[in-house]
Structure 1
Amino acid sequence: MRTVTNYFIVNLAFSDVSMATFNTLFNFVYALHNDWYFGLGYCRFQNFFPITAMFSSIYSMAAIAVDRYMAIIHPLKPRLSSTSTRVVIALIWVVAVLLAFPQCYYSVTEFYHPRTVCLVNWPDDYGGTHQISYQLALILLIYLFPLLVMLVTYSLVGRSLWGGAIPGEPSDHYHHQITAKRKVVKMMVVVVTTFALCWLPYHIYFILGSFNKDIYKQHYIQQVYLAIFWLAMSSTMYNPIIYCCLNQRFRAGFRQAFSWCPFIRFSEEDKTELQHTNTFRVTMTRSYHGDSTRVHGPGTTGPGLPFSSQHTGPKAQQPKIKL
Structure 2
Amino acid sequence: MDATPDPSTPSLTSSLEEPEDWYNNTNRFEQPGWQVALWGVAYALIVVVSVIGNITVIWIILAHRRMRTVTNYFIVNLAFSDVSMASFNTVFNFVYALHNDWYFGLGFCRFQNFFPITAIFSSIYSMTAIAVDRYMAIIHPLKPRLSATTTKIVIALIWAVAFSLAFPQCFYSKTLFFFHRTVCLVDWPDDYGGKHQLTYQIAVIILIYVLPLLVMLATYSLVGMTLWGSEIPGEASDLYQNQIRAKRKVVKMMIVVVLTFAFCWLPFHIYFLLGSFNEDIYKKKYIQQVYLAIFWLAMSSTMYNPIIYCCLNKRFRSGFRRAFRWCPFIRASEEDNMELQHTRTFQMTRSYRTETSSVAHQASTELEDIIPKLIKA
User: Do the aligned residues in 2 keep the contact of 1:160 with 1:166 (CA within 8 Å)?
Assistant: no
State how far apart, in whole Å, the 2-side matches of 1:285 and 1:46 are. 53
Alignment correspondent of 2:251:
185
Q: Are 1:103 and 2:169 matched, yes or no?
A: yes
Q: CA RMSD in A?
A: 2.3
- Match for residue 154 of structure 1 among 212, 220, 234: 220
The alpha carbon displacement at 1:264 in A equals 2.4
DSSP 3-state at the match of 1:109: strand
User: Do the aligned residues in 1 keep the contact of 2:106 with 2:174 (CA within 8 Å)?
Assistant: yes
Letter in 1 for 2:194: G
Alignment correspondent of 2:133:
67
The alpha carbon displacement at 1:248 in A equals 2.0
Alignment correspondent of 1:295:
none
Relative distance call for 1:286 and 1:18 in structure 2 (3 A) is farther
Alignment correspondent of 1:50:
116
Alignment correspondent of 2:306:
240
Alignment correspondent of 1:81:
147
State how far apart, in whole Å, the 2-side matches of 1:64 and 1:179 are. 18
Letter in 2 for 1:16: D
Relative distance call for 1:152 and 1:233 in structure 2 (3 A) is same
Aligned length: 290
Letter in 2 for 1:40: L
User: Do the aligned residues in 1 keep the contact of 2:70 with 2:148 (CA within 8 Å)?
Assistant: yes
Percent sequence identity is 78
Relative distance call for 1:173 and 1:7 in structure 2 (3 A) is closer
User: Do the aligned residues in 2 keep the contact of 1:61 with 1:192 (CA within 8 Å)?
Assistant: yes
The normalised TM-score by structure 2 is 0.72
The alpha carbon displacement at 1:111 in A equals 1.9
The normalised TM-score by structure 1 is 0.84
DSSP 3-state at the match of 2:191: coil
DSSP 3-state at the match of 2:175: strand
State how far apart, in whole Å, the 1-side matches of 2:119 and 2:145 are. 26
Letter in 1 for 2:129: A
State how far apart, in whole Å, the 2-side matches of 1:215 and 1:270 are. 53
The structure with more radius of gyration: 2
Relative distance call for 1:31 and 1:160 in structure 2 (3 A) is same
1 or 2, which has the higher helix percentage? 2
Gaps of 5+ in 2: 1-66, 358-377
Alignment correspondent of 1:298:
none
The alpha carbon displacement at 1:2 in A equals 2.0
Relative distance call for 1:6 and 1:288 in structure 2 (3 A) is farther
State how far apart, in whole Å, the 2-side matches of 1:13 and 1:60 are. 10
Relative distance call for 1:268 and 1:7 in structure 2 (3 A) is closer
Q: Are 1:129 and 2:195 matched, yes or no?
A: yes
- Match for residue 25 of structure 1 among 83, 91, 100: 91
